[in-house]
Structure 1
Amino acid sequence: MDQESIVYGVIRDVPSSSSHELARFRLTNCNAILELGEVDMQPALLTSMFSLPSDELLSGTYQTQVIHFAASYKAVEYEWERWMSKFELLLTQMYWVSATVHLETELNGKHTFNWDATGSHHRPGDAALSVRCEWEHDVSFRYAAS
């Protein structure tokens, strides 16, 4: 069987006390995700990977809308730079406070990538993004008693 990689995470939007500003932020974010479409070169970053919760309090949106996403790939770690470039391009078009991506691989362990906005939040077109990576790798071995 081929190596499977799982990618999942969240993008936290910007809480705001202004309903007009909040609507503009969320519409911009929604449009950026919809523009991904359903056709993309590998490794794909598609609209269908994302879930945008409604603005209703009882639907999981208190002050912050949490945009979550997930996908399964065939060994995406070999094309990880391309995937990250696509994801960061998406982030440059959105309003957000933070974003987290988890990459789980069979051979290279688990990686967590975090982006935090400089200042109160990121705006479309803001300067370069900065990412931090944490790596977790489980090593199992069997001790044979003699």
Structure 2
Amino acid sequence: MNVPTSSPPRSTPPTASCADSSGPRSGGRDDLATAADVVAAVAAGDVPAARAVREAGRAIGGVLATCVNLFNPSVVVLGGTLSGAGDHLVAGVREVVYQRSLPLATKELRIVTAAGGDRVGLLGAAALVLDAVLAAASVDALVAASSVDAAG
């Protein structure tokens, strides 16, 4: 009986390396210490950096696929510095999300990058603060407190 031999299935996706072997966070390249450095390298046409960003997108997509199946959103917005790599990141995310999500959940799904770029986290935090400060209960409490101060 001939049994074909093959390598065992991988439990984790392969990792992309940007070069030889130096820093663990920079994929082996000392010149890629931050996400902004990686985005700049991708913009300059650095193929290993683009591969690393695509692989990062696949890892993010693995997590987002679960979220898409659970929440069934109509849009997923990717933000932060790494989103500046554009299509390289989004393609990796889409690849895994569409593979691992239910067809009904992805039928109308759009995966896009945030317009705010790397400031999107700050803008979101500011929006949360404004929502809390301008909530009806907060405004009512402020009005009641100023009415007590004016009367007394």
For normalisation by structure 1, the TM-score amounts to 0.28
- Compare the two structures and name the one with the higher helix fraction: 2
- Compare the two structures and name the one with the higher strand fraction: 1
Compare CA radii of gyration and give the structure with the larger one.
Answer: 2
Q: Could you say which structure has the greater relative contact order, defined with CA pairs below 8 angstroms and 6 or more residues apart?
A: 1
